[in-house]
Amino acid sequence: MAEFRRVVLRQEPARDILVSIVTNDMRPEIITAVQQTIGVLSNQTVMEMARDKLDNVQPDMWAKAELSNEDAVFSICMGGANGDLRNLAMAIVGSGEDNDVSDVLQETVNTMVGRIRASLGERGIMMAQSATTVSREAQVVSEDRGIAVPFTTESGTRFLMSLMVEEKTANV
């Protein structure tokens, strides 16, 4: 279908449109969404870290959700080091137990996904949402298909939000 649209209808592939939106337009939206969501939940100021500080955030745990349509899969991930995520969970729910850390990650990503899905919908791009999963599997972001934004809270908690677009394959 994507090939038909590209060749016959001479339309830009949906994946390319999404990549353009993510890499050119969504960074400010994500920064605002993270600052508002985590700021309100944790009662702290949340700041974007400089791009050259990206390596200072080494996630041990990730929450990931996907938005998809017939042409593309859009991954939204939040990750952080164990200690940082425990501190964030303590600030939000008053406990740093493993299940609380997992819950905080899942709910934060769910909130981000809802905002992103609404933003894409306003642009005429409809996507279905997957369940959010938490894992220790590293998430890689390719700068030509997405963005990674490091954040810190006023208490020094560091975490990373990433968005990436992939072409949908038959087994996705």
CATH architecture of 16-167: 3-Layer(aba) Sandwich (3.40)
Environment class of 77 (CB within 10 Å of its CB; exposed 0-12, middle 13-18, buried 19+): buried
Burial class (CB in 10 A: 0-12, 13-18, 19+), 169: exposed
Q: What is the predicted pLDDT for the residue at 26?
A: 87
Q: Closest Cα to residue 64, out of 75, 50, 48, 49?
A: 75
Confirm if 48 and 27 have CB atoms less than 8 A apart: no
Six-digit token pair at 162?
């990433």
- Domain residue spans in the chain? 16-167
pLDDT of residue 137: 84
For the whole model, what pTM was predicted? 0.83
CB count in 10 Å sphere of residue 115 = 18
pLDDT in tens, the chain (172 residues): 545 444 444 566 667 888 888 888 888 989 999 999 999 999 999 999 987 777 778 889 999 999 988 888 889 999 999 999 999 999 999 998 888 999 999 999 999 999 999 998 998 888 999 999 999 887 777 777 888 899 999 999 999 999 988 877 755 4
CA dihedral for 14, 20, 23, 28, sign (positive or negative): negative
What is the SS3 assignment for the chain?
CHHHHHHCCCCCCHHHHHHHHHHHCHHHHHHHHHHHHHHHHHCCCEEECCHHHHHHCCCCEEEEEEEECCCEEEEEEEEECHHHHHHHHHHHHCCCCHHHHHHHHHHHHHHHHHHHHHHHHHCCCCCEECCCEEECCCCCCCCCCEEEEEEEECCCCEEEEEEEEEECCCCC
